[in-house]
Amino acid sequence: MSFSELGLSDKVLSAVTAAGYTQPTPIQTQAIPHVLARRDVLGIAQTGTGKTAAFTLPMLTILETGRARARMPRTLILEPTRELAAQVEDSFKKYGTNHKLSVALLIGGVSFGDQDMKITRGVDVLIATPGRLLDHVERGKLLLTGVELFVIDEADRMLDMGFIPDIERIAKLVPFTRQTLFFSATMPPEITRLADAFLHNPARVEVSRPASAATTITQRLVASGRDPEDKRDTLRRLIRGATDLQNAIIFSNRKRDVAVLHKSLVKHGFNAVALHGDMDQRARMQALDQFKTGTANILVASDVAARGLDIPAVSHVFNYDVPHHAEDYVHRIGRTGRAGRSGAAFSIVTSADDKSLSAIEQLIGNKIEWDGPTLAEVRAGGGAAAEGDERPARGRGGRSSSRDRGGRREREGGDARPPREPRAERQPRRDAEERAASPSPRGERPERQERQDRPERQARPERQDRPQRQDRPQHERRERDRDDGPSVKGLGDHVPAFLMRGPALPKDAKKRSADS
Query: Between 47 and 449, whose beta carbon lies closer to ligand AMP?
Result: 47
**Stretch in the footprint of ligand AMP (CB under 6 A) among 50-58, 60-68, 291-299, 361-369:** 50-58
- Binding residue for ligand AMP, selected from 48, 372, 383, 443, defined by CB under 6 A: 48
Query: Is 131 strand, coil or helix?
Result: helix
Query: Is 3 strand, coil or helix?
Result: helix
Query: Between 83 and 148, whose beta carbon lies closer to ligand AMP?
Result: 83
* Cα–Cα dist 363/329, whole Å: 10
Query: Between 49 and 351, whose beta carbon lies closer to ligand AMP?
Result: 49
Radius of gyration of the chain (CA): 25
Contact 84, 153 (CB under 8 A): yes
β 298-302/369-370 pair status = unpaired
* Cα–Cα dist 146/365, whole Å: 48
* Cα–Cα dist 263/274, whole Å: 9
Alpha helices, DSSP H, located in 303-353: 303-306, 326-333
* Cα–Cα dist 452/319, whole Å: 39
- Binding residue for ligand AMP, selected from 30, 52, 115, 252, defined by CB under 6 A: 52
Near ligand AMP in 202-231, by CB under 6 A: none
Is residue 347 close enough to count as binding ligand AMP by CB under 6 A? no
Query: Between 31 and 385, whose beta carbon lies closer to ligand AMP?
Result: 31
Is residue 53 close enough to count as binding ligand AMP by CB under 6 A? yes
Is residue 21 close enough to count as binding ligand AMP by CB under 6 A? yes
Is residue 24 close enough to count as binding ligand AMP by CB under 6 A? yes
Least distance in angstroms from the C-beta of 99 to ligand AMP: 18
Beta partners for 76?
A: 126, 150
Query: Is 77 strand, coil or helix?
Result: strand
**Stretch in the footprint of ligand AMP (CB under 6 A) among 17-25, 210-218, 348-356, 428-436:** 17-25
**Stretch in the footprint of ligand AMP (CB under 6 A) among 22-30, 101-109, 365-373, 471-479:** 22-30
DSSP state of 69: B
Query: Between 50 and 277, whose beta carbon lies closer to ligand AMP?
Result: 50
* Cα–Cα dist 50/31, whole Å: 11
Is residue 47 close enough to count as binding ligand AMP by CB under 6 A? yes
Least distance in angstroms from the C-beta of 32 to ligand AMP: 10
Is residue 49 close enough to count as binding ligand AMP by CB under 6 A? yes
Is residue 25 close enough to count as binding ligand AMP by CB under 6 A? yes
**Stretch in the footprint of ligand AMP (CB under 6 A) among 44-52, 146-154, 261-269, 445-453:** 44-52
Beta partners for 275?
A: 301
* Cα–Cα dist 249/313, whole Å: 11
Least distance in angstroms from the C-beta of 306 to ligand AMP: 13
Q: Give the helix/strand (H/E) hosting 217.
A: strand 217-223
**Stretch in the footprint of ligand AMP (CB under 6 A) among 41-49, 105-113, 126-134, 258-266:** 41-49
- Binding residue for ligand AMP, selected from 114, 280, 310, 471, defined by CB under 6 A: 310
Query: Between 47 and 129, whose beta carbon lies closer to ligand AMP?
Result: 47
Query: Between 52 and 297, whose beta carbon lies closer to ligand AMP?
Result: 52
Contact 406, 415 (CB under 8 A): yes
* Cα–Cα dist 31/508, whole Å: 74
Strands (E), 388-493: none
Per-residue b/e over 198-209, b at no fewer than 16 CB within 10 Å? bbeebbebebee
Least distance in angstroms from the C-beta of 278 to ligand AMP: 25
Least distance in angstroms from the C-beta of 210 to ligand AMP: 12
Residues in binding contact with ligand AMP, number by CB under 6 A: 13
* Cα–Cα dist 297/273, whole Å: 8
Task: Return residues touching ligand AMP (CB under 6 A).
Answer: 21, 23-25, 28, 47-53, 310
